[in-house]
């Protein structure tokens, strides 16, 4: 699957339910052996089985929006163990998986994936042109 926005995220941006600049946005490393994304129906973090969520980042920092392109500072996941990681999913964190809205699915063009965790840090570098464009 190619990098893409979840349909419900597009809806969330257009209806004002997601604010890239002010909301808490996090990234989760995902084992795709345990999660098959549905861009049309998956809406919340709870749609990704907890066993497929290998590690979660802190809130993204230095978020920007320029000409419809969302970007943020690169992130590092600390001391990651567990299953192999083939994708990253960004989501709006509300503190509850059942209301934390999925934003985008990324499986290429990002440094650090795919990778098999070994207990060390996983540094992720976003694409130089930004994370995604609306």
pLDDT for 108 equals 82
Those residues with Cβ within 8 angstroms of residue 11's Cβ, 6 or more apart along the chain or in another chain: 17
Percent of the chain scored above 90 by pLDDT? 82
- Residue listed under structure tokens 């809806």: 11
Evaluate if residue 110 carries a pLDDT over 80: no
pLDDT for 1 equals 64
Evaluate if residue 5 carries a pLDDT over 90: yes
55 φ/ψ angles, rounded to the nearest 5 degrees? -160, 150
The DSSP code for 80 is -
Evaluate if residue 112 carries a pLDDT over 70: no
Could you report the per-residue pLDDT of 11-20, keeping only the tens digit for each?
Answer: 999 999 999 9
Could you report the per-residue pLDDT of 28-75, keeping only the tens digit for each?
Answer: 999 999 999 999 999 999 999 999 999 999 999 999 999 999 999 999
Q: Which residues of 1-32 are buried (b: 16+ CB within 10 A; e: fewer)?
A: eebebbebbeebbeeeebebeebebbbbbbbb
């Amino acid at each position: 699957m190619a990098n893409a926005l979840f349909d419900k995220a597009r809806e969330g941006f257009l209806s004002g339910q997601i604010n890239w600049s002010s909301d808490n946005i996090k990234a989760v490393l995902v084992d795709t052996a345990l999660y098959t994304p549905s861009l049309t129906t998956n809406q919340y973090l709870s749609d990704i089985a907890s066993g497929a969520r290998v590690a979660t980042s802190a809130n993204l920092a230095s978020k920007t929006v320029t000409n419809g392109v969302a970007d943020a500072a690169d992130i590092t996941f600390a001391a990651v163990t567990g299953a192999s990681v083939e994708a990253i999913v960004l989501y709006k964190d509300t503190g509850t998986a059942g209301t934390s809205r999925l934003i985008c699915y990324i499986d290429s063009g990002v440094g650090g994936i795919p990778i098999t965790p070994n207990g060390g840090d996983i540094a992720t570098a976003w694409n130089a042109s930004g994370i995604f464009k609306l």
